[in-house]
Structure 1
Amino acid sequence: MKLITPSLVVILASFSTSTVATSFENAQSIQLSTNTASASSQKRIDTVAENSLILQGDIDQLKEEIKNLQVYQNHLTALIESQSQEALNLQSQIEEINNTRQGVVPLMYQMISGLKDFVESDLPIKHATRLERISKLERMMVRADVSDAEKYRRILEAYQIELDYGIKLGTYQGKISVDGNLRQVQVLHLGRVSLVARSLDGTKSWVWDQLQNQWLQLDSSIKPNLDKAFNVATKQAAPSLLTLPLSQTLESK
């Protein structure tokens, strides 16, 4: 019995040492596994956190885009409302233009008719030219390629020309009827106050009498005054006081 006891102690000691070594290795393995698992978990946590930050950035960007889209939508809504209002205004203006045109067209015909009546009753200053101008206006009124605005402008232009005849001193060559005969003469008009004519050789002269509606021969004594007036009208002499016979006179009651 005494021989067996030491061996048993040695065996127990060996067993204990082996067990401790194995337990330590197991502990180290567990620790390593734990560390590896912890590192892997941390990595996953870092990845999730990074992805979370990226997603948060995307969300913030989407929120900003939604905000901008909302502002743009409000802008478009206001723009559409403004365009709708503008369309209503344009429609109203078109209706007003149509109404105005319906009133302007008859007015233009009245203006041409009134101008024609005036020319026919006025002193025969460039009479044929003025009547031809009115004929052109009448033909123009039925032309589709001329706008109403252009028609109105040309009518006003004709009125301006007629106005100029009444305030200017002018001269031109033309034909007048004297005693049933046509004569080629030089004609001078001072507004609508005086309308005179003289033969091309300057030996004879006439004055238009509006009351009698005919040309009357003038006395030769007025020749110097007529020559002076013609020289002023053709800019061959400086403007000065002129003495001319009147074409417009008042009828005695």
Structure 2
Amino acid sequence: MSKVSNRTKIAAALVGVLALAGSNLVAADPLADVQKADGQIHADAAASQKKVDKFFDQAQDMLFEYGTVADERESLKAYNDYVATLVADQEASMKAIQDDINGVDKLRQGVVPLMFKMVEALEQFVALDLPFNTQVRKERVENLKNLLSTAEVTLAEKYRLILDAYSIEREYGNFVAVTTGQLNLDGKDVLVDFFNLGRVALYAQSLDQKTGWMYNPETKGWDTMDESHLRELTKGIRIARKQGALDLFALPIPAAETAK
């Protein structure tokens, strides 16, 4: 065999080896690409999972916040309903108060004349009644008359004081009292004990207990009592002063048809 032929065989063998090596290299590249792609897929999947987990956590937080807001809304709604009820009640009260205020003027127009009539009636009553505590009672009436013309005292206070005066006069009908004072008889003052049996009768007795008088509402004067009644009068005065034991005593009284 010639040298050319041997070289040709060697060259052919080298080409074959190179061709085989080239084929292996070509086969290895797709596998690497697949592995690389698979790794990228796993990386992308992990990244996507992280995003999903993040979005899920955010969704859970938002759901919790929504529940909290919903609860607060219900609480606020209940509170607003309660406040609305209070406001409605207050508005009703304010309207009632305003109606009362609007009626004050009308009430004042009716009360003021009534108070003047009450004081006038009280003055007449004191003048016609038995003459006991006369000075005090007249001064009380006079004070009420002056009070009605005073702007510094409220209408309610004026009315209250008038009612107090009436209450005092009412209590006079239930009391028994003895006071020492001057009794004018025929222009002469005599020191006596006045014995007051409410509004039933008024008596007077000299301090020596020898003379007694009974007030006559019809004549507005004093009638001398019979001596037979002096002892009973003394007894009544002692009981009223708590100087004697409680007991019955008999005294004449003005006739019912003549008493004022």
Q: What TM-score, normalized to structure 1? A: 0.86
2:222 is matched with 215
How far did 1:250 drift? 3.9
How far did 1:152 drift? 2.5
> C-alpha deviations, 1:49-88, integer Å up to 9, x for none?
2222222333343344344444444444443333322222
1:40 is matched with 47
1:113 is matched with 120
Choose the corresponding residue for 1:5, options 1, 8, 12. Answer: 12
How far did 1:249 drift? 5.7
The residue type equivalent to 2:57 in the other structure is E
How far did 1:219 drift? 4.0
Aligned residues of 1:140 and 1:146 also touching (Cα < 8 A): yes
Larger CA deviation: 60-69 vs 8-17? 60-69
1:126 is matched with 133
2:94 is matched with 87
Secondary structure at the residue paired with 2:9?
A: coil
How far did 1:39 drift? 0.9
Choose the corresponding residue for 2:245, options 224, 238, 253. Answer: 238
Larger CA deviation: 70-79 vs 37-46? 70-79
Instruction: For 2:255 and 2:186, locate their aligned partners in 1 and report how far apart those are by CA, in whole Å.
Output: 21
2:176 is matched with 169
Q: Does 1:55 align with 2:62?
A: yes
The residue type equivalent to 1:241 in the other structure is L
Aligned residues of 1:187 and 1:198 also touching (Cα < 8 A): yes
Q: Percent identity?
A: 31
Q: 1:71 to 1:32 in 2, by over 3 A?
A: same
Secondary structure at the residue paired with 2:41?
A: helix
Secondary structure at the residue paired with 1:186?
A: strand
Instruction: For 1:161 and 1:248, locate their aligned partners in 2 and report how far apart those are by CA, in whole Å.
Output: 25
Larger CA deviation: 14-23 vs 155-164? 14-23
Secondary structure at the residue paired with 1:129?
A: helix
The residue type equivalent to 2:42 in the other structure is N
Q: Structure 2: which 5+ residue stretches go unaligned?
A: 1-7
Q: Structure 1: which 5+ residue stretches go unaligned?
A: none
> C-alpha deviations, 1:73-104, integer Å up to 9, x for none?
44444433333222221112223344233222
Root-mean-square deviation (CA, aligned residues, Å) is 2.4
How far did 1:115 drift? 0.9
Aligned residues of 1:192 and 1:248 also touching (Cα < 8 A): no
Number of aligned residue pairs: give it: 251
Instruction: For 2:255 and 2:197, locate their aligned partners in 1 and report how far apart those are by CA, in whole Å.
Output: 11
> C-alpha deviations, 1:110-153, integer Å up to 9, x for none?
11110110110111011111111111222222334433333333
Secondary structure at the residue paired with 1:95?
A: helix
Instruction: For 1:42 and 1:149, locate their aligned partners in 2 and report how far apart those are by CA, in whole Å.
Output: 85
Aligned residues of 1:165 and 1:191 also touching (Cα < 8 A): yes
Instruction: For 1:183 and 1:133, locate their aligned partners in 2 and report how far apart those are by CA, in whole Å.
Output: 27
Aligned residues of 1:186 and 1:198 also touching (Cα < 8 A): yes
Q: 1:32 to 1:128 in 2, by over 3 A?
A: same
Secondary structure at the residue paired with 1:112?
A: helix
The residue type equivalent to 2:12 in the other structure is T
Aligned residues of 1:211 and 1:249 also touching (Cα < 8 A): no
Instruction: For 1:95 and 1:175, locate their aligned partners in 2 and report how far apart those are by CA, in whole Å.
Output: 55
How far did 1:7 drift? 2.2
Choose the corresponding residue for 2:25, options 18, 30, 50. Answer: 18
How far did 1:220 drift? 3.8
Instruction: For 1:190 and 1:168, locate their aligned partners in 2 and report how far apart those are by CA, in whole Å.
Output: 7
Choose the corresponding residue for 2:206, options 182, 194, 199. Answer: 199
Q: What TM-score, normalized to structure 2? A: 0.84
